Amino acid sequence: TGHDIVLNNDVLIPQVGLGVFQTPGGQTTIDAVHAALECGYRHVDTASIYGNEQSVGEAVKTSGVPREDVFITTKLWNEDIRKHRTMEAFEESLERLGTDYVDLYLIHWPAEGWQDAWGALQEIYRSGRARAIGVSNFAKNHLDELLANTDVKPAVDQIESSPTFPNQDMIDYCHGHGIGVEAWSPLGGTGSGLLKDDRLLEIGEKYGKSSAQVVIRWHLQRGVIVLPKSVHNTRIQQNINVFDFELDDEDMHKISAMDTGKRNGADPNNFDF
């Protein structure tokens, strides 16, 4: 069902992962993760701030899929960065996930103190408790500073990207530096109405695919790791059924041309949480 990308430390990551931002912890998360694993996902992207790590861990455990076959990402929250409690926060995440390692650990936002946090992530990486480490919502200025001062290159930068905000300069910048890119809000996020856009629906008709599948395919063909969120089984299935068609160049350009220059989420250089 899927396809892997090779990270810069040779670790493989499935190119489509289940996103669980805004998926309520408890049965909703457990059901979504079970549905995903059943239809072939082997990658779940959570964060301590999402409040569902425990449910993600429980779902993986009860799924019958071996832990080592599932790529699990979680993230260090801003308050923990500011309080210089990265190690403690990491251990709390492992505890909630019920695992002794994660596949990828990310700094969630470049909050004050992120340089110290990155030092701790490198220690975590060396200890083998994270198979890869990276960042999220880092802009060029943050990455430039990080790259000039690190022994371990971040494996990924997880950033906002969707047809209305492709963020293509950041993607090109990361890829140019050997850093993988993961897209959050890949379908435009909750309530954007993006998936009802006529341009996407029309392209979908041509391939016999939904607008969501078209958008996911556009991310894949740009070399981006994509983390669509859904709590509905049929949509979860749909979102990974994207490896049997290919968008032509014209359609790729049409989707990229939907760029409005406007973010859905916060600006990495100006956020207040």
Q: Report in angstroms the alpha-carbon separations of 74 from 132, 209, 250.
A: 11, 31, 36
Q: What is the CA radius of gyration of the chain?
A: 18
* Residue 160, strand partner residues: 184
Active site residue 50: yes
Our CB check for ligand A2P shows the closer of 190 and 256 to be 190
| The one among 146, 187, 224, 240 contacting ligand A2P by CB under 6 A | 187
- Asked if residue 39 binds ligand A2P (CB under 6 A), the reply is no
Nearer to ligand A2P, 120 or 187 (CB): 187
Which range touches ligand A2P (CB under 6 A), out of 68-76, 131-139, 141-149, 188-196? Answer: 188-196
For residue 108, say whether it is annotated as part of any ligand binding site. Answer: yes
Nearest CA to 114 out of 138, 81, 161, 80 is that of: 81
Q: Site mask, ligand A2P, residues 231-260, x = CB under 6 A?
A: xx--x--xx---------------------
DSSP 170-224: HHHHHHHTT-EEEEESTT--TT--GGG-HHHHHHHHHHT--HHHHHHHHHHHTT-
The answer to the question of residue 204 lying near ligand A2P (CB under 6 A) is no
The first and second tokens of residue 16, run together, are 């489509």
Among 212, 224, 240, 247, binds ligand A2P (CB under 6 A): 212
Cα separation, 48 vs 92, whole angstroms: 9
Instruction: Determine, following the binding rule CB under 6 A, whether residue 9 of this chain makes contact with ligand A2P.
Output: no
Residue 188 within binding range of ligand A2P, rule CB under 6 A:
yes
The DSSP annotation for 83-96 comes to: TT-HHHHHHHHHHH
Binding window for ligand A2P (CB under 6 A); candidates: 65-73, 91-99, 141-149, 230-238? 230-238
Binding-site ranges for ligand A2P (CB under 6 A): 19, 185-190, 195, 210, 212, 228-232, 235, 238-239
Catalytic residues: 50
